Amino acid sequence: MKKAKAAGATKHWPRRVLRWLVHALAIGFAGLVVLLLLFRFVDPPTTAFMLARRLEASTEGEKRFTLKQQWVPLERIAPALQLAVVASEDQKFPQHFGFDVEAIADAVEDRFEGKSTRGASTLTQQVAKNLFLWRGQSFVRKALEAGLTVMLEVLWPKARILEVHLNVAEFGDGVYGVEAACRTFYGKSAKQVTVEEAALLAAVLPSPKKRSVKNPSDVVKARAAWVVEQSRALGPHWLDEVR
């Protein structure tokens, strides 16, 4: 009898483990939904990227490292700066549901042809990655990013996605968000920047480690000039689709 019970228990343990796993995933998903709903109205205190940079500085003994960030609402960010970032990184932002299918297809085609890979991440994907994930390329990270992107598009309005992106994007080593960037590089608030200054900030995204606002290369200057042209082509009323 004891052997029969033991055999029955052994037979059913995979089912129990699967049930526990399903329960754990359901609880985790519900917790994530609650957190995202909270962040729709409450500004995130930090991001995964910021925590990783702090840890890196601590591990490498960077005693002079200071992380700069100052959260500002969307209405305290110059429209020119909002438009410049969107024009530079994601011109289909108001229309898509988190993914720019055409840009993804072009990036895949470039990869197959052996060309330098172009960026295909939307602003929503960047927010998902910055808030919760890590740097690098892997199938697991991309899958998590895709899931988070869909959730953000469902739970947040476009204006909130743009606001969070502008406040957590890195513009220089340890400089996060447009307010900290404007005060660090221009000595003024994000509300006061000019079209040209806004374009230069947008031009360093999404590679602030390789591109510099303080000492822009010819490539960055050319990129900034292109951003100005794109911003003017879109026009100031284009942002009405986001708000």
Dihedral pair phi/psi, residue 211, rounded to 5°: -115, 150
Q: What's the pLDDT band for 211 if we cut at 50, 70, 90?
A: very high
What are the extents of the domains in the chain? 1-42, 43-236
Alpha carbon of residue 214 to chain centroid: 23
Q: What average pLDDT score do residues 81-98 get?
A: 92
Find out whether 151 and 63 touch, Cβ atoms under 8 Å. no
With pLDDT > 90 as the criterion, what percentage of the chain qualifies? 65
pTM of the model: 0.87
Higher model confidence: residue 9 or residue 84? 84
* pLDDT at position 207: 86
Q: What percent of the chain has pLDDT over 70?
A: 88
Written as one letter, the residue type at 115 is: K
**Domain 43-236's class?**
mainly alpha
Q: Which helix (H) or strand (E) holds 176?
A: strand 175-176
User: What is the mean predicted confidence (pLDDT) over 136-140?
Assistant: 85
Mean per-residue pLDDT, 17-37:
88
Distance CA 123, CA 10 (A): 49
b/e sequence 120-156, b meaning 16+ C-beta within 10 Å: bbbbbbbbbbbbbbeeeeeeeeeebbeebbebbbeeb
CA distance 93 to 85: 11
Res. 17: pLDDT tops 90 = no
Total length of the chain: 243
The per-residue pLDDT for range 153-204, each reduced to its tens digit, is 999 999 999 999 999 999 999 999 999 999 999 999 999 999 999 999 999 9
pLDDT value of residue 235: 85
Instruction: Take residue 122 and report the two structure tokens written for it.
Output: 């939307």
The mean of the pLDDT values for the chain is 88
pLDDT at 119: 61
Helix residue ranges per DSSP H, the chain: 2-41, 48-59, 79-89, 101-112, 123-132, 139-155, 158-168, 178-185, 195-203, 218-234
Residue with tokens 């307010």: 179
Written as six digits, the tokens of 70 are: 């100052």
d(CA 127, CA 85): 13
Render pLDDT for 109-119 as a digit per residue (tens, 0 to 9): 555 555 555 46
pLDDT at 4 over 90: no
**159 in Cβ contact with 171 (< 8 Å):** no
